[in-house]
Each structure stands twice: as structure tokens, then as C-alpha cells.
Amino acid sequence: QKEVEQNSGPLSVPEGAIASLNCTYSDRGSQSFFWYRQYSGKSPELIMFIYSNGDKEDGRFTAQLNKASQYVSLLIRDSQPSDSATYLCAVNSNSGYALNFGKGTSLLVTP
């Protein structure tokens, strides 16, 4: 069974700090990796994607991928209270078209 694992949290960081969210996946055939943000009671929203090993930066967000270790992470710099949400890691393999979501990590940014 293809699994995506995340620490459920909550991860609490002070405002202005770096939040680090981690995700591991079991399917070595996975090719594409996504981070979705989900506010409480709302639907998921795509914030980052990464396909190649290394780092990808977009504003305050950096996605990191290590396929050898089957590990993907999301860094949020200068965390704001508005970043408080659940962050879902999702993985897409070439052999399938469906996204496999993790359960999400709850992030709380305290003022």
C-alpha cells in the first residue's frame, strides 16, 4: 500500500520563526510532490510543488525533496499567525493519476 506519512502535530512556532514540516512516502515510483494548505473547515489549496531533488523556493515557502531518502519537506520562513493551518503532503506517481494525501500536520503560529 502506498503511504504518505506526516507528523500530525500540532507544531507550534512563534511568529517570525521558521516552521519545518516533514513528510515521508513509501512508493519509490513517486514522481511529483505537492503541499496543500487547509484552513479549519475549508478545502485544501495548493501552495507548492516539486519534481526534482533539491530545493524550490517561492516567497516565504521552500520545498525540499530527497528521493533517495523518500523525504519531502516544507519550510515556512518568517511564519505568520495567518499560516496557522493544516499542511497536507501529497504524492503523485507516474503509474497512477490520483494524488495520495498524508493526514496533514497542524501548524500553529503564536503571536
- Contact residues toward another protein (CB under 8 A) are 4, 8, 32, 34, 42-46, 49, 88, 90, 92, 97-99, 101-104
* Terminal Cα-to-Cα distance of the chain (whole angstroms): 40
* Closer residue to another protein (CB): 5 or 17: 5
Least distance (Å) between residue 88 CB and another protein: 7
Q: Taking a C-beta distance cutoff of 8 angstroms, is the pair 36, 47 a contact?
A: yes
Residues 31, 61: Cα–Cα separation, whole Å? 20
Residue placing its CB nearer to another protein in the complex, 65 or 88: 88
